[in-house]
Amino acid sequence: MSGIAPGMSVPVPKEFSVLTDRQRAIVQSTVPLLETGGEALITHFYQTMLGEYPEVRALFNMAHQQSGAQPRALAYSVLMYARHIDRLDALGDLPAQIINKHVALQVQPEHYPIVGTCLLRAIREVLGAEIATDEVIAAWGTAYQQLADILIGAERQAYDRTAAAEGGWRGERAFVVEDKVQESAEITSFYLVPADGGPVIAHQPGQYIGLRLVVDGQEQRRNYSLSAPADGRSLRISVKREAGGKVSNFLHDRVRVGDTLQLFPPAGHFTLQPGERPLVLISGGVGITPTLPMLDAALPTRRPVVFIHCARERGVHAFREHVDALAAVHPQLTRYYCYDRAEEGDGVDAQGLLTARQLGEWLPAVDADVYFLGPRPFMRSVKESLKALGVPQEQVRYEFFGPAEALQ
């Protein structure tokens, strides 16, 4: 299976760049500067790299650049790395998260020198020569190479595992759109089968694939959650039409049944873990997509499952009929729906925003395994509510590629 699972140690190559004690101290001394000006530095870094190295543009979502989400995410990762440079195991799931994103987008070893060159230039140009001395730049150069060596080694292992697995592949693989189904006013599913007629690797519930396509002459790469369980022959992604979204609108408006798309293998560490405690799946909007295969995988285990979904209104609530059908035949499944705006006959359990009080009434127990995903404000609220309700933090899992502080 591709990617690095949560809790797994990130493999360190036998031969990689080693920081001296002085270099380590220099890197850590820059943490206060990164805390106050890291986002400006990373923004300058992105402008330099994307302007001078067009070959890496496809690896970055330009919408996330414009919103500042990607610079903030990288600034956070750099800060955490610098802060824990002498104890990398304290980074927790962050390396696994980064590695899985890189694997899904097919980041390659030749991309790392480009990033390193631009990062060191940004440090020098933003902090100035008086602060970013030759010694500081040399220390950061070694620190970056150490990180690059670790990530390259882990990603190579992930690529090798996927290529060796039954139904696996390396790089891109052609898939044909077998069916296209509108699930709601905003979400459309694409059923994809290999053009070569071969088997498909068994992905884990909660993983996503990478998609490479050319839109208006420009290469684009995106990650989309797999919204159906593994069946060995096909994959399904369910894509929300985003206002101004170049790729989502292309998929909705221009991709037809019979068209061919290029896919990278499944990856991702937000996956359903085995357990006997009650399982709670909480989603908002299109965040429902990875919870669907989690739900399908959990039901045969007989563990109690609570499925909570929040949507703006009935018209944008995808997969309701599927979940209702499962609840009708699985007595251990309880489902709740919450709409911002509800009309008579919508059959919702709550209206308005999902509050801690409401969530507390729906939780089967505080001692539960909880997975949640959705828009950032929704996730922030759910995270705070679960903490206030006393759900153990080690039993709470979510997928969020960005600064952890954004969910505080």
The residues assigned a catalytic role are: 112, 155
* Tokens 């989603």, located at residue: 283
Q: Residue 288 has which token pair?
A: 């429902």
Q: Which residues does 160 contact at the CB level (< 8 Å), separation at least 6? A: none
CA distances from 59 to 53, 155, 248, 401 (A): 11, 15, 16, 15
DSSP conformational letter for 302: T
CA-nearest of 46, 17, 15 to 140 is: 17
CA distances from 97 to 7, 181, 184 (A): 11, 30, 30
CA distance 408 to 400: 12
Beta-bridge mates of residue 371: 281, 397
Where do runs of H (alpha helix) occur along 84-168? 94-105, 111-127, 134-164
CA distance 123 to 312: 43
Q: How many residues does this entry show for the chain?
A: 408
Question: What kind and span of H or E run contains 65?
Answer: helix 62-67
Q: Residue 207 has which token pair?
A: 């993983």
Tell me phi and psi for residue 103, to 5 degrees. -65, -40
CA distance 254 to 380: 35
